[in-house]
Structure 1
């Protein structure tokens, strides 16, 4: 018997939270946030309350009400009952924590499989109890980096390690001795089990889990096959076939015939496949024709796109200069932008002097050494300022703009205020076009920046669009399904489940929170 419940990713792009229960155990496939669902209630200056975010999300049904899943200290700080607090009623929730379920022997999941390190697949993992997280080693390293430099706050930062949320007392200030909520000093690493391509592992309760490398817009992405005696469930995660890796899940699992295949369909309605090689060719051409500074925007976690932009810049005779967050990410996986023919952009920050002290609170902007290795102890100073010595600042970019390609996403456009941009400077958007109201507002602001600085004048001050998606097209998805031949196909991560077909069996369109049983 297989029981399947989709708590997210239903008629939605992202937010996957899929629970599979088998005779021997249970596993979640991803536990991500839904940007589209959150935007129904929140915006830039209207956000969940940081001190009780999990309660806000539960009340708005942005997190599912499931017993035995969430951390006790996320729901209620440790030692809470020992304090006489006026607001106690607001901390009561209608779900049993993972810790409480463990004490009573009630149901709780055996593991979470994380397909990749995008927050729409792992962003709510910090709220989960202490059960194992299964993913590739690369995904764990990327989650580490996102936690360090990804602009996350509070519990949201605890992607790979936890600090107990606990009651404490104010020691100084106007109200010494009064209660507050804080975090323990001790950090406890999550239990990660790193999956390797095609190598099966047996986890708690006897579930056999096999990871399969897949191509996506972030490295380390995996699909997952879960097996018990007489039952197989396959989860694709996010997938494409046109990137640099060459992985093809359909070829790997040709003729598998699993009982259930949970398949993403972001671009199921698109007929034409994308091509990362064409992106490189088009970028090379536009960089070569550019008379001023060439700027290109893409997400700093997309290492495939980094390699594409780097190679295109070098082929056009320009020096590629990348966001320091991307450089920090590369360093976490044992690589260096400097060793690969690239440079790193040195942003002005802090007191805006290009002084080493300006970067004390944003260490990744001045060097790529791990934060944990920095030390300010007397006699044991250990810092990394390689970007000050070897990076490229606005000064160098302004002196010789036609020599460079600068990685500059929309949220770093304020750096343009330091540039002296010559006529003929361009901006290329090497990521998806706006597809929701929030992104459309950002697009209007972007156009104002471009027109104000006369960027892309030959394109009516609009961004040049050169991109290949992180997701497969409809025909590519259908070809994969036809090869794998599932008995039951479950579309997720899609706005168009009606476009899926399954010649080998049935198609089940899930409903959010509704359990389906498969014999």
Structure 2
């Protein structure tokens, strides 16, 4: 039986990968992520898919594939979507970014999910600190008795199992290889089908602190005879997004954007030149699960004789992943920001979640009034969702280091503009210092040239036409259709 490859996401856009591969009587998805572009086309913060309809709205707007029996029985029932034996034997995840794993929450709970050990642990921690609801039930689920009133406390519990990729034992030979990315545990897959060899890179780079992971994996892959290379191309054809970011910053902040940084080491050096001579508070924004960037600012804080102040969710990630990251929430160089909730009593019963309560009892927890006493000696995590804390901290002046990716969607651009307006209002000295989690376009092309695959399928990119012009053996899939790999 000839193998089949069908793409249900990740085509001509950033993220939303959903790649179905069939061979030898088995079927597997590689990634099953959220497409922020597709979801943002129809939905926003106060216009969301209706939970009362289960997966109904997600199917109606084409956000998930219309594949019978793939999804949870309870979530399929409101719209009578067919249920039964799942048509896939598992899902292999490349890494723990939502645009690669987010819609796993809908898949029938007995379908095994495979990934690296670190990826699985990050997803478990992410679920713990999440807001709940059907879009956040990756591991622990509440089976919803749609059509009947039953107290939520009596909804049956269910558990989805995540496995290490090496636990899979089946007809298809699937091997994981490590890569460097802006989240730990990332990797790609070598998939040996009965009639061809497929390489799926996942998201990768070779300029981070763990660049040797990518370089070593690519060196091994160069010895392979590759039939199909499924390769990400985030930074191929992304000039419009970069220009949009540059224009927003220069228009609102009123200062030119500094040159792009080439490595995590260069970012650290640049940040040190800004922070070391300063006698003011420093506010930083980085991905809350980007542990490379966290460690960079952790080291900067040490070298500048400052403390790094982190939010409770990051403290929880450090607690859950301390054996991997090597730094725990009670570390002497960290402070945990105790944000007020509910009625502002700081009592653990005042709307604090169970997982938060033991962390808020640590000795390095500080409220705003306590942080004010040492504000000029701190580096404070302050992303878009925590900007409201500036009202309580009242910095007379300060530095703001923006260290996250540029917006890749219209909704993200609106948030980015709002973020900049806050920074401008509080008169913070703004610096954009970021290193991409993805290879540059020239690096991507060098990888392709070195691997010399027979066929190339670019995904996770808006630059498919650039790939087509450069390589005659490029295949551009059509969503939901079997690709021609003859």
Query: Taking structure 2 as the reference length, what is the TM-score of the superposition?
Result: 0.87
Counterpart residue number, 2:288: 300
Quote the Cα distance in structure 2 between the aligned partners of 1:441 and 1:270: 18
> Which position in structure 1 is the counterpart of 2:442?
475
Distance verdict in 2 for CA 1:479–1:427, change over 3 Å: same
Is 1:295–1:407's contact at 8 Å kept on the other side of the alignment? yes
Deviation string 1:23-72 (CA, Å, 9 cap, x unpaired) is 34221011111111111111111111121141011111111111232122
| Alpha-carbon distance in structure 1 between the residues aligned to 2:145 and 2:68 | 22
Number of the residue aligned with 2:388: 414
From 162, 171, 194, the equivalent of 1:192 is: 162
Question: Does the CA contact (< 8 Å) of 1:112 and 1:131 recur in 2?
Answer: yes
2:319 paired residue among 331, 341, 348: 331
Aligned residues: 457
Alignment correspondent of 1:373:
none
| Pairwise CA distance, 1:115 | 0.9
Asked if residue 226 in structure 1 is aligned to residue 218 in structure 2, the reply is: no
Q: Contact between 2:15 and 2:36, CA under 8 Å: does it hold in 1?
A: yes
Does residue 385 in structure 1 map to residue 361 in structure 2? yes
* Mapped contact 2:172–2:192 kept (Cα < 8 A): yes
> For structure 1, which runs of at least 5 residues remain unmatched after alignment?
77-89, 103-107, 170-178, 369-383, 457-462
CA distance in 1, matches of 2:469, 2:5: 18
Question: What residue is the counterpart of 2:31 in the other structure?
Answer: 30
Q: Judge conservation of contact 2:36–2:409 (CA < 8 Å) in 1.
A: no
3-state SS in 2 of match to 1:61: coil
Largest Rg, 1 or 2: 1
Instruction: Tell me the CA shift for residue 359 of structure 1.
Output: 5.5
How far apart are 1:253 and its partner, in Å? 1.2
CA RMSD of aligned residues (A): 2.5
Instruction: Answer yes or no: is the 8 Å Cα contact 2:238–2:462 preserved in 1.
Output: no
Contact 2:120 2:163 in 1 (8 A): no
Give per-residue Cα distances to partners, 1:460-487, cap 9 Å, x unaligned. xxx3100011111112112222232222
CA distance in 2, matches of 1:235, 1:181: 45
Preserved contact between residue 482 and residue 503 of structure 1 (Cα < 8 Å): no
Counterpart Cα distance in 2 of 1:27 and 1:337: 38
Q: How much has 1:333 moved relative to structure 2?
A: 1.4
Greater alpha carbon shift after TM alignment, 281-290 vs 11-20:
281-290
Q: 1:61 to 1:347 in 2, by over 3 A?
A: same
Q: 2:101 aligns with which of 122, 138, 144?
A: 122
Cα deviation, residue 239, structure 1: 0.9
1:214 counterpart = 2:185 = no
Alpha-carbon displacement from aligned partner over 1:446-503 (angstroms, at most 9, x marks no partner): 23322332222xxxxxx31000111111121122222322221111000001223799
Q: Cα gap change, 1:216/1:63 in structure 2, threshold over 3 Å: closer, same or farther?
A: same
The 3-state SS of whatever aligns with 1:285 is helix
Kept in 2, the 8 Å contact 1:268–1:494? The answer is: yes
Counterpart for residue 268 of structure 1 = 236
Match of 1:278 in 2: 266
Deviation at 1:341, TM superposition (A): 2.8
CA–CA distance in structure 2, aligned partners of residues 303 and 161 of structure 1: 25
TM-superposed CA distance for 1:512, in Å, is 1.3
Q: Which runs of 5+ in 2 are unaligned?
A: 240-259
Does residue 429 of structure 1 match 2:402?
yes
User: How far apart in 2 are the matches of 1:359 and 1:58?
Assistant: 34
For the Cα contact (< 8 Å) 1:253–1:483, is it kept in 2?
no
Q: Distance in 1 between matches of 2:394 and 2:296?
A: 27
Match of 1:360 in 2: 352
1:178-210 deviation per Cα after TM superposition (whole angstroms, max 9, x unaligned): x35958655333232213xxxx66534x12211
Residues 74 and 146 in structure 2, CA contact (< 8 A), matched pair in contact too: no
Q: Tell me which residue corresponds to 2:424.
A: 451
